[in-house]
Structure formats: structure tokens, C-alpha cells
Chains A and B, each alone.
Chain A
Amino acid sequence: DAGVIQSPRHEVTEMGQEVTLRCKPISGHNSLFWYRQTMMRGLELLIYFNNNVPIDDSGMPEDRFSAKMPNASFSTLKIQPSEPRDSAVYFCASSLALSGTGNQPQHFGDGTRLSIL
């Protein structure tokens, strides 16, 4: 079984540029989560979707961040304009159900390591 696939694995760009991170969840999973991991703050949930609908985006740090899930097999996280403090590892995870109420674990991709210069 293919796991959660994220692209790119690494992204280095200059401040002010638009950054788009991509995620393909595990086929059949109906919940998708975007996390950010930094040394200072650990893992933080940014936004999650259920059946392609955003449920909670309260973790999105600013209006510069946006996420979409146009269909069940694809999601994007966009940062525009990017800033150096956005540098982090961004993870996508998927599960069969909303993990908060169900008994299904979350499965993580390998992440995108983002560096904003």
C-alpha cells in the first residue's frame, strides 16, 4: 500500500515567494491533516479536512496560509508571501475517520522541509 505522499521533499526559496506544498492521502482515507513541526513549538496542527471539507483551520497562523482539498486524493497548503519564520517541516497525515472520535490512527507522510531565506 502506498502511504501518504508529499511533495516536494525539500523546498528552498526566497522571502516573499509563493510556496505550494502538496499531499496525496492514502486511498480511501476521508480525513486529512496538515501539521507544522519546529524545534521551538514541536508538532502543531494547522488545519484538517473531513470528506474534502475544511473542519477546523484555527491552527493556521496567518492569512498568508491557505489550504485546499479539491478532491479526495489531493490537498495543497500554500504560503503567500513566505517569510523566514515559516521555515519548518510540514507534514500531511490522513486517516479513515476523524481520529478524535474514531479508533483509526493517523498515517503521516515524510514531510516537506521548507527553508525560507
Chain B
Amino acid sequence: KQEVTQIPAALSVPEGENLVLNCSFTDSAIYNLQWFRQDPGKGLTSLLLIQSSQREQTSGRLNASLDKSSGRSTLYIAASQPGDSATYLCAVSGSWGNQFYFGTGTSLTVIP
């Protein structure tokens, strides 16, 4: 069974810092990897989706990279803002079946 790990579980940074969130997965036979953010009491908002053939995706201040062979993805957030405070989850889908396996998330706090 695919296992998805996110480190750290929680992160607190001052506003303006660049930061990196990590996601690792055990089975490299993935179709794609998706990064989400979850605000308290809310559902998940899709941030970026990387196909297995891609190395990275960018959206605004966010950049997600994928190293499929090593089972890793990173989410880079540039010039962090208090509004970035949320829980960030990664999820992978692959040849084991048509479903996503989610990590447990990184809780990010950006301090003004």
C-alpha cells in the first residue's frame, strides 16, 4: 500500500520568508501528485497538480517539484504572507488503483 509522509508536521515562519514543504511517497508508480491547502473548517483547495512525466508546476508564488524516482515532492512558497497560513496536504494517485492517497499534512503559520 502507498504511504505518503509529510515533514514537518507543523511549521511557523515570519512573514516574507521563503519556505519549503516536503512530501514523500513509497511507491514511485504514480500517475500524478496534487498539492492542496485546507483552511480550518473548510474543504481542500487544489493548488497544483503535477503529472508523473512533469518535473514541476508553478502558480504565482507557489512552485511544486516532483522527483518520481526518489519518491519526493516539494512545495516552495515564496515571500510568505499571513494569508498562507493553512494546512498543506499532498496526495498521489497511481497504478494501484484510481484513488488518491493523502499525506497527513503540514500545518503552516506565517507570523505577521
Contacts and interface: CB of A to CB of B under 8 A. Distances in A.
By size class, the interface of chain A is 20 to 34
A12 interface: no
Given A43-B89, A110-B42, A111-B42, A103 B32 contact: yes
B43 A108 contact: yes
A99 B42 contact: no
A99 B98 contact: yes
User: Which of B32, B45, B98, B100 gathers the greatest number of chain A CB atoms within 10 Å?
Assistant: B98
A18 interface: no
Nearest to B35: A105
Interface in B68-104: 89, 91, 93-94, 97-100, 102-104
Given A100-B31, A103-B32, A91 B44 contact: yes
Contacts of A113: 41
A105 B46 contact: yes
Nearest to B102: A43
B44 A108 contact: yes
A101 B60 CA distance: 26
Contacts of A29: none
Given A100-B31, A105-B34, A56 B43 contact: no
B89 A101 contact: no
B51 interface: yes
A42 interface: yes
A109 B43 contact: yes
A82 to B, nearest CB: 22
Interface of B: 31-32, 34, 36, 41-46, 49, 51, 89, 91, 93-94, 97-100, 102-105
Q: A-B pairs with the 7 shortest C-beta distances?
A: A100-B98, A108-B43, A100-B93, A43-B102, A105-B46, A108-B44, A98-B98
Interface of A: 4, 33, 42-43, 45, 48, 50, 55-56, 59, 91, 93, 98-101, 103-111, 113
